[in-house]
Every structure is written in structure tokens, then in C-alpha cells.
Amino acid sequence: MSETPKSKGEMVIERIMQELDPQSERYRILATAKQFKSSWVELGEKLLDVQQKGLFRQWGYESFEDYCSREVRIKKPTAQKLTLAYRYLEKEEPELLARRTELKPLPDYRSIDLLRQAKEELDLPADDYANLRRTVLEEERSHPTVQKQFREAAGDRLPADPALPLRHALGAARRLQNTLQPLPEIPAEFVDTVTRLVNWLEAGESEQGG
């Protein structure tokens, strides 16, 4: 059975790792980043340390965001959610951090960040926060489910979603793309233009969503 092809980000990380001392903190962070999907807690912890100590400057980067995007290969919103989610667990749910040694993974970091927002930024009523906490930490529901409950509980406390117009535009562009496919005489350059538009909108949505 062939191995799953490596992403561009993974190849960049591995190339940098080849030039580093395997015992160095910089190497260990990149090794953790390669396992990001299954070990977000470790990556969040390490990135928070890099941010607080300014280690990225020692490694030739002007900012923490620049280090994350160019070396660890994650976008600014993702890095922010990871570090804030870890800090929240450290402060509010320290007993959960012991689960990092278990086979059972912690909830999605995005769900943890929503729980953090509910606690630190929106000051939800105690009952609403308790229900959201139960959904995230005890019932371990999917992130879309958590996100829906979060929005319903937050109500008017939430600012307008800046990504909403982008999502609407992306949906319209995809519908146009699908509509053009059965047409036999549509000029190729028109199809290419719509495809490039869809790709551009998808990249923008990914950047905002983290």
C-alpha cells in the first residue's frame, strides 16, 4: 500500500528539520506541528511559549505570525486559536491537560476556543456557559454542533460575521461553476475564469476561518 502523499507544508517542515539539531526546541516544535491534527494541545503549548518568550526572533522571524505561517505552516487565525485555547485549558480546565497522555484526544481546539470566548469575551449567563461546557467537554459533540449552540447562546452579543459575504459569494460562484459544466459550447476561458474565482474565494474563506 502506498503512503499518503505529503502536503507542501509537510515537505517544507521536513526540509527545515533536516537543518536543525534534533535536540533543539525549534526542532521539537516542528515535529509537533507535523502531528498537529492529533496533538493540538502540545502544539498550542509550544507556540504559546514561543510567543511569550519571543523565540521566533532568535530564529530570524520578525513576528510570531510570520514564524507560524512560514515555518510551522499554519495561518494566523489558527495560531491564535491554538494558543488561546491552550491558555484557556491551562487556566480553567487544568485537569483536562492530563489527558494528553491518553489515547482519547481532547475536543477540537476550535470548540475549546468557542468555550473560551463564551467565558472570557461574551460573559454568557452561567447556565448557558455550563450547557456549552457540557457539550464540549463531557458530551464531546462535533465542532459544527458546538458552533451552532454557541451562536444561539451568544445571540446579540456576537458582532456581525465578517466572513458571511465571502461565504455567500463563494456559494454563488460554485453554483455558477456547476451550471456551466453541462454547457458544451462555453468558451474555455470563461470556465477558467470562474474556476480561478472559486479558488480565490476558497483561499479567502480558509484564511478567515483558520
Based on the fold, state whether residues 143 and 182 are members of the same structural domain: no
Q: Considering its fold, how many domains does the chain have in total? A: 3
Based on the fold, state whether residues 91 and 171 are members of the same structural domain: no
- Per residue in 163-192, pLDDT (tens digit) is 667 777 888 888 888 888 788 788 888 888
Based on the fold, state whether residues 121 and 143 are members of the same structural domain: yes
- Per residue in 68-82, pLDDT (tens digit) is 999 998 888 899 999
The residue length of the chain stands at 210
User: How many whole angstroms separate alpha carbon 182 and alpha carbon 186?
Assistant: 9
Based on the fold, state whether residues 144 and 191 are members of the same structural domain: no
- Per residue in 18-36, pLDDT (tens digit) is 899 989 999 888 888 776 6
What range defines the domain where residue 205 resides? Answer: 164-209
Rounded mean pLDDT, 48-68: 94
Based on the fold, state whether residues 59 and 149 are members of the same structural domain: no
Based on the fold, state whether residues 13 and 65 are members of the same structural domain: yes
Based on the fold, state whether residues 62 and 152 are members of the same structural domain: no
Instruction: Indicate if the pLDDT at residue 2 is higher than 50.
Output: no
- Rg, the chain, Cα only: 20
Cell of 79: 495560531
Based on the fold, state whether residues 111 and 205 are members of the same structural domain: no
Based on the fold, state whether residues 32 and 81 are members of the same structural domain: yes
Based on the fold, state whether residues 95 and 29 are members of the same structural domain: yes
Based on the fold, state whether residues 34 and 95 are members of the same structural domain: yes
